[in-house]
């Protein structure tokens, strides 16, 4: 890790401005960005105008929005890991096999970050998450599968530090019970949630074995009422087959 003296704080602040834009904050003013990024307004203005000059944000009246150029920042990662050649075909094949969308996520800064997806067209149900979406670890199946890939002490630390937010009446708010769920996911090799993040939605996820560096997990969501015992077994088998294929491809 680089020493503090070698870090460009200005560059870091510029990246924080890009991260300020999300589904709830698609258009932001100078004041909004200053508040979200904990910057003074003058600094926020300079950073935003620089990003506008470089083409990463565009002005819309008194607010700003991201441009498609930000996808270039992710493109290098996806291309260097051959997502189009090695990952996407596997996801597409397994998704078609079980007629269910699939998502691949990596643990990044205490969240599950979607890095690839296979979506059914036309999809009967859409839960609104895309590549680049970030999900909380504690109430989601894919988050718990990621935690299960970590050593116990590291997953316990993340469970202790992650925010507890009530998304639905079924969201667990007791950290000990969440730790038990993660431990069970580690033993069973998969995690299942029912209505804990989105009401009426079940999530199923499995860790991707053998992944180096940041842990990966693979999961899907479907209407809770559709998750019969038979359907659960079919999806779990497909997810495990997909995870093994992804791990073999990465090797």
Domain boundaries, the chain: 4-67, 72-249
Q: What is the pTM of this model?
A: 0.76
Q: What percent of the chain has pLDDT over 90?
A: 64
Q: How far is CA 69 from CA 14, 51, 75, in A?
A: 15, 11, 10
Residue 191 and residue 148 in contact, taking contact as beta carbons nearer than 8 Å: yes
What pairing do the DSSP bridges indicate for beta strands 191-194 and 201-207? Answer: antiparallel
User: What CATH number matches the domain at 4-67, 3.40.720.10, 1.10.10.10, 3.40.605.10, 3.90.1150.10?
Assistant: 1.10.10.10
Indicate the pLDDT class of residue 238, thresholds 50, 70 and 90.
very high
Residue 118 and residue 94 in contact, taking contact as beta carbons nearer than 8 Å: yes
pLDDT of residue 131: 79
Q: Which CATH superfamily is domain 72-249 in?
A: GAF domain (3.30.450.40)
* Per-range mean pLDDT, top range of 119-128, 213-222, 224-233: 224-233
């Amino acid at each position: 890790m680089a020493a503090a003296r070698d870090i460009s704080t200005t560059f870091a602040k510029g990246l924080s401005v890009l991260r300020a834009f999300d589904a709830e904050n698609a258009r932001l003013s100078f004041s909004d960005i200053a508040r979200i990024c904990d910057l003074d307004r003058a600094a926020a203005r300079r950073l935003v105008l620089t990003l506008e000059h470089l083409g990463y944000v565009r002005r819309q009246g008194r607010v700003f929005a991201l441009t498609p150029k930000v996808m270039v920042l992710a493109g290098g990662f996806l291309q260097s890991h051959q997502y189009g050649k090695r990952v996407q075909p596997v996801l597409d094949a397994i998704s078609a096999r079980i007629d269910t969308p699939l998502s691949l996520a990596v643990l990044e800064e205490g969240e599950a970050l979607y890095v690839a997806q296979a979506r059914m067209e036309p999809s009967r149900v859409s839960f609104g998450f895309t590549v680049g979406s970030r999900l909380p670890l504690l109430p989601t199946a894919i988050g718990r599968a990621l935690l299960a890939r970590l050593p116990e002490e590291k997953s316990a630390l993340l469970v202790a530090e992650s925010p507890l937010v009530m998304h639905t009446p079924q969201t667990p708010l007791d950290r000990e019970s969440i730790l038990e769920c993660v431990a069970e996911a580690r033993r069973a090799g998969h995690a299942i949630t029912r209505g804990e993040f989105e009401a009426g939605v079940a999530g199923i996820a499995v860790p991707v074995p053998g992944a180096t560096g940041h842990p990966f997990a693979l999961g899907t969501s479907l209407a809770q009422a559709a998750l019969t015992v038979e359907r659960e077994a079919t999806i779990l088998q497909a997810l495990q087959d997909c995870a093994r294929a992804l791990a073999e491809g990465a090797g």
